Amino acid sequence: MGNEELLKSVKEKAEVWLTDQYDPETRAQVKQMLEAEDKTPLIEAFYKDLEFGTGGLRGIMGAGTNRMNIYTVGAATQGLANYLKEAFPDLPQISVAVGHDVRNNSRKFAEIVANIFSANGIKAYLFDSFRPTPELSFAIRHLGCQSGVNITASHNPKEYNGYKAYWSDGAQIIAPHDVNIINHVERIKNVSDIKFKGNPDLIEIIGDKMDKDYLDAIKGLQLSPEIDAKYGKTLKIVYTPIHGTGVKLVPESLNNYGFTNIIHVPEQDIPSGDFPTVDSPNPENASAMAMAVAKAKEVEADLVVASDPDADRIGCVIRDTDGEYVLVNGNQIVMILLNYLMNRNAELGTLTGKEYVVKTIVTTETIKSIADANNIRMFDCYTGFKWIASVIRDNEGTMRYLGGGEESYGFLAETFARDKDSVSAISLMAECLAWAKDKGMSFMEMLQDIYIKYGFSREAGISVVRPGKTGAEEIQAMMKAFRANAPKELAGSKVVTIKDYADLNCTDVATGKVTKMDFPVTSNVLQYFTEDGTKVSIRPSGTEPKIKFYIEVKGKMASKADYHAATEAADAKIEMVKKHLGI
């Protein structure tokens, strides 16, 4: 589509939003974009409709079909309501749970969602205030709901909001439901198709009782109550919710585990959709953890933990052997927690041979080494916790889930919720610290011990941001180029295997032999594996305007004294890989 043709199409879509079906504030915003000399904001707001990705809807707030507003939220909800009535035609009362985070407009959107469901004869359980995303997942299962919606944009900047849709198992929606919902949404051609006027009789407010039930379930995950009691009062743990929903439940869960010496960052305990103390409320960024680390230095804390705004992701900072505070990356968080769960279960004699763990295809392969050493099966799945939940669903009743996670700072230790959960992960991270201390190790020494036993690995994630329509086209072109021109070597090691999840082909480079991979659907992910164990994964983000590169390199580490040298050598190798990839 040429520029003139695109602009014409966009103007036609925008002019519909000037009719009296839309509220005055929205009409004024659209009118301003139409009259502006620079038509870029208009194009960005209307050139496409928000679509369900790996995390549902997510976008910048504002007027337009490509923006988060009451109409795009309304259309998504009406489409979901229509599909629920089609999917459960014989159920006397369909019900859903509705939650939200601290973001600007989140409460407003959540109330609109509840109203639309109720207007369609669907019972809506609406949380009385903001709550962690995993609690919404828990509530769906706990209440026996058929679906659920959480209004959140996770760790995105403050301009964003989002809409996560869940199915009856408490997991985010996957095929065929996602496509069916989109089809229903696309049938909604006018605002008049959306039933905004709610039925109060079908809206039930939920709150403290659900909190207690959720926290009680998390307490049931505790594996080392005696060890926790032994060190719980003396270990110093700094926690920050980064202005988000974890402020109430994370400290309470830690207390339930016996960890009472929790040091807060008062400025960041204040819930705010403006996230005033950080540039980005993402705990994987050192800058977002800076205030918590400063507090840790002040009190000489043993551990720093954080949750993102909707409290599904976990951030973690530990002290190295020199006493300095260092950020633990997402791969290490998953590796540490799974290592603890597997080894602690072995110590307790609770392994039956039917246990399993899950990781995503872009997460460190060291986890497989740990699982193999413990005779525990490991499943690989696509990025996104809906896929981890899918593995749990497939193995329900036949195998026992120990835990699963992904490199993007997400972990799930339970099956009573089906989305990543910082509340349980932080509780178990504190328990892991106590377990290490009981063995005479610091947290860093425990991490080093994992590398010595199972092999050293180092990972790096690089995101190349390309916003807007032109950015989306550039990302497509980059993926096409990487497929057509695969590197023959990376950092001096031959590429021996190429996995392309777009067609599920696994290619042996030396022989040219192609085998099919066993995955439920295709996905736009490309991987290179080298002779020396280097792994590179490339995928466009499903929720943000970026293409992501995941690099993992292997190294040698015979003793704890080798850690710094192994790290430096691996970092140098990662830089070589980046250079070969042109990023």
Q: Strands 160-167, 57-60: parallel, antiparallel or unpaired by DSSP?
A: antiparallel
φ, ψ of residue 149 in degrees (nearest 5):
-135, 135
What's the Cα-to-Cα distance from 29 to each of 20, 21, 264, 430, 457, rounded to whole Å?
A: 14, 14, 41, 48, 50
Side-chain half-sphere exposure of 337, counting CA atoms within 13 A: 35
Give the span between the Cα atoms of 344 and 3, in whole angstroms: 61
Kind and range of the H or E run holding 210: helix 208-219
Give the span between the Cα atoms of 267 and 271, in whole angstroms: 9
Q: Strands 123-127, 203-206: parallel, antiparallel or unpaired by DSSP?
A: parallel
Strand ranges across the sheet with 147-151: 57-60, 160-167, 147-151, 95-100, 123-127, 203-206
Peptide bond into 467 cis (omega under 30): no
φ, ψ of residue 220 in degrees (nearest 5):
-70, -10
| Long-range contacts from 502-507, C-beta under 8 angstroms, 24+ separation | 502/526
Give the span between the Cα atoms of 379 and 391, in whole angstroms: 8
Q: Within a 10 A sphere around the Cβ of 465, how many other Cβ atoms? A: 11
Residue 501 and residue 522 in contact, taking contact as beta carbons nearer than 8 Å = yes
The residues assigned a catalytic role are 154
Q: Is 379 exposed, middle or buried (0-12, 13-18, 19+ CB in 10 A)?
A: buried
Residue 428 contacts by C-beta under 8 Å, 6 or more apart in sequence?
221, 337, 340, 341, 413
Give the span between the Cα atoms of 237 and 303, in whole angstroms: 5
Tell me the β-bridge partners of 59. Answer: 161
Q: Within a 10 A sphere around the Cβ of 542, how many other Cβ atoms? A: 17
Instruction: Return the percent helix, strand and coil in the chain, to nearest 5.
Output: 40, 20, 35
Kind and range of the H or E run holding 46: helix 40-46
Dihedral sign, CA of 81, 86, 87, 92?
A: positive
Residue 483 contacts by C-beta under 8 Å, 6 or more apart in sequence?
500, 502, 526
Residue 12 contacts by C-beta under 8 Å, 6 or more apart in sequence?
none
Residue 525 and residue 381 in contact, taking contact as beta carbons nearer than 8 Å = no
Nearest to 538 by CA among 511, 571, 577: 577
Residue 566 and residue 555 in contact, taking contact as beta carbons nearer than 8 Å = yes
Helices 246-256/422-438 angle, 10° precision: 40
